[in-house]
Amino acid sequence: MIGTADKRSASEAGTERLGAALAPALRTGDVLALSGPLGAGKTRFVAGLVHALSPGAHVRSPSFTLVNEHAGAVPVFHLDLYRLDGVRDIESLGLEEYAERGVLVVEWGERLPHAWLAEALHVTLAPGENDTRTISAKGNGERGRHLHDAWCALPEAW
């Protein structure tokens, strides 16, 4: 894993813009593992990313559906692992099929099996006062490093 690169968001809209700015770097098979407490802005980040690839898409947390699919230039499979108990539950989702068809963007991504994190970009959202947050990224493997490079090229404040 390479070093962490931090960005700052001053609002929900800023968090969405940051997600949108990263979207052009994504390709089929990429994995974004999002972490952070409830209310940190994970779904807002995903909304920006999805809207950049599929304008007009309705983005909501997949907490109860587990997977939301968003068609677009690069399909996005938005997963939420918060309610799953273990590796068996996660493996039963059919991650391989999703990864063959698009990008996996996973809330509570730290719960992914280690094999799925080997080439991932890990994005951690930490809320601050008001609507501010620090959003950090680290990359694993070749694809994770490529996405990390794209992340580092983005402005620091949003």
pLDDT at position 87: 63
User: Does residue 14 fall inside a structural domain?
Assistant: no
CA 72 distance to own-chain centroid: 16
Least confident of 75-84, 97-106, 112-121, 136-145: 75-84
User: Does residue 11 fall inside a structural domain?
Assistant: no
pLDDT at position 92: 72
Closest C-alpha to 52, from 16, 20, 14: 20
User: Does residue 81 fall inside a structural domain?
Assistant: yes
User: Does residue 3 fall inside a structural domain?
Assistant: no
The domain containing residue 41 runs over which residues? 19-131+139-152
User: Taking a C-beta distance cutoff of 8 angstroms, is the pair 33, 122 a contact?
Assistant: yes
Q: Where are the alpha helices (DSSP H) in the chain?
A: 12-22, 42-53, 87-91, 95-101, 114-117, 141-152
Comparing 136 with 90, the larger pLDDT belongs to: 136
Tens of pLDDT, residues 4-34: 899 999 999 999 999 999 999 999 999 999 9
Domain at 91, CATH number? 3.40.50.300
85: left (phi over 0), alpha (psi -120 to 50) or beta: alpha
User: Does residue 9 fall inside a structural domain?
Assistant: no
User: Does residue 120 fall inside a structural domain?
Assistant: yes
Tens of pLDDT, residues 24-70: 999 999 999 999 999 999 999 999 999 999 888 889 877 667 899 99
User: Does residue 127 fall inside a structural domain?
Assistant: yes
User: Does residue 8 fall inside a structural domain?
Assistant: no
User: Would you say residue 2 has pLDDT above 80?
Assistant: no
Number of domains within the chain: 1
